[in-house]
Structure 1
C-alpha cells in the first residue's frame, strides 16, 4: 500500500499529518510512503527527516494525492478537489456539516473518506480528543489576549491581582476541549463556571480540577446567567458529525459585558453563536455587538509541533492497521473506525453527517462486503 502525506494548504495551517517516527512504523508495516516536499517544515520536521525514516519526498503534490491512502490534517480545499478520486481513501478531519460543498464533491467523485472526528472507541472520540484538548487550552490564551484593549477587549486580566478580583470564565461543554479550558483557566486563578447537559461530564471536570471550578447543568436559564456574568466565554459544544447547536443568540450577546470575549471552539462545526464566523490566525479577532469574537477554525495549528506529535500518535494505530489489512477489511473489522467512514461509493455513511446535510444515510456495512 502507498501512503501519501500532502502539504497542508489551508491558510495558517502549520501541522503535518504524520511525524517521521510514524513514517518509520508504516514502512516497517510494509507501506511505501510519499511525502510532499515541505509538508513537515512548519512543524519542525524537515524533508531529510522523512527521507531518513524511509519515505520518498516528492515536489509534485499529485504524487502524494495519488496514493492508496491519503493522510491529511484538515479537509481538502477547492483547489485540491481535482485530486479526489475513487483510487484513494482519504483520512483526515472533514467536518462536513460545516462544508456541504466538500460533501457533494466526495459523493460525486465516489471517494472513500474517513473523518478523524467521528471515529469512536468505547464511547469516546479518540482522534478528536488530542486536538480538542489543545484547542481548549489555547482558548484561554486566545481569550486572555482578546481581553486586552488593543484587541478590543475590556482591559482585564484573567487572574486576580492585589486589589482587583479575578475575571469570570464561562466554559460551555465539559468534553475534552471544555476540560482543557477549565484546567488552564482555573490554574491561572480565574473564577470558572463549566456548563454541560451531562452530570457525569460535570463530575469528571470537577475531579480533574480538584473542585476548583463551579459546575452547572446547562439549561437556557443557567446558560444565560453564566454567559452574562462572565468576561470570557469559551464554547466547546459538539454533536458528533452534525453542526454545532447555536446556544448564544445575538440577543444574548447584547446582554454580555461590553468588551467581553467569546472564543468559539465549535466554529469548525459551524459555530455555536449566532454571530460566529470563521477567522484565521493572521486576523483572529473581530468585534460584533461590543463583544470580541475569536473564531479560528484550526486553533491547534498555532502550536504545530505539539499538535502534530499528539495527532500522529493518536492516528498511527488506525493507519498501521489499514496498511496491514487493507481499507475494506480494516473497516469491516473495526466498528469504531467504521463510524469514521463519512462517504463511500457515492453514499453518505455517517448518520450524523447525513442529518446535518439533509441527505439520505446509507449504512456502511453492506457497501463493504
Structure 2
C-alpha cells in the first residue's frame, strides 16, 4: 500500500510538503514543486486518506443515511431507491454517504457524533419519534416521509393524501363502490395513514364508504401474499383494493391468483410508488407514482442548506410535498357483477 512517504521520496520532497500540496496549501511551495508532487501521486497510485483529510479540514463531509427498522436494511424497494438517489446527489455535492441500519434508533442517533458525520437523513420514522431524537443533540437531521409538526424538525414528504385521492377517483371513475385499503395503519399520522385518509375522504365525497378490514404491519410482498387469503374470504368480496405500496400490491396479486381470483376481472388492484416492480407483475400494476429523484433532491438541498448556508431550520421545515401521478396499468377494470 502506497504511503505519504513513498510519494515524498518519488517527488524528492518532505512528507510535510506532500501534505501541504494535498491539503491545497500550495502557497507554501513553488509551482514546480507542487507539480512534482501531483505527478508523484499519480505515478505511485497514492490514495489520500479520507479520515486524514477530514481531520485536517475539521470537516468530514459525511452524511449518515439512517434506515430505521429490524436491521434488514435495503429489503424495501422504496428505501433502496431513495438511498441510492441520496448517495448519488450527495456525492455530486462533494459529500460521502454512510448507510447505517438502525435496530435501536435512539441509540444510533445518539452515537452519530462518534462517527464524525456532519448531518443525517433518517428514514422510516414516525412523528412521535422526532422530538426524542432531536433531544439527542447529535447532528442536524432531516426526517423523510415524516409528519412531525415540531419546530426545528426538517422533513420532506410525498403528497400521500393526494395519492390516495387519485387512487379513489380512478376506481370511482371505473364504477367501483366497494373498495378497501390495504396498508399498516397506526395511531399517529404516517405515510400510510395519509394515503388512507385521502382514499377514504374521496369515497366519502362520492357518498361511498371505503374500509380497511385487514390489519397488516408491513408493506412487503410477503405481507401482500398473506393478506390475499383474508381478502378472498371476505363476504361480500370487495371489487377493488388500494395498496399503500407496490411491493404490497405485487404480493397481493400473487396471493389472489393463488386463491383462484382473477385481476382485474374479479378484483381490481391499485398500488403506490411507481417502481419497476409495478411493470413486471401480471397483470401490469396500475399505481400512484412518486418521483424519488425529486424527493431525494429536496432532501439533500434542505439538509445541506442547514449545514452549509446557515439556513434557519425552523424557517423551512416543511417544503411543498413531492407531487404524485396516476400510472395506468392493467390491474384496474370495471367492477365484477356480484
Question: Highest Rg: 1 or 2?
Answer: 2
- The alignment's TM-score, normalised by the length of structure 2, stands at 0.38
Normalised to the residue count of structure 1, the TM-score between the two structures is 0.36
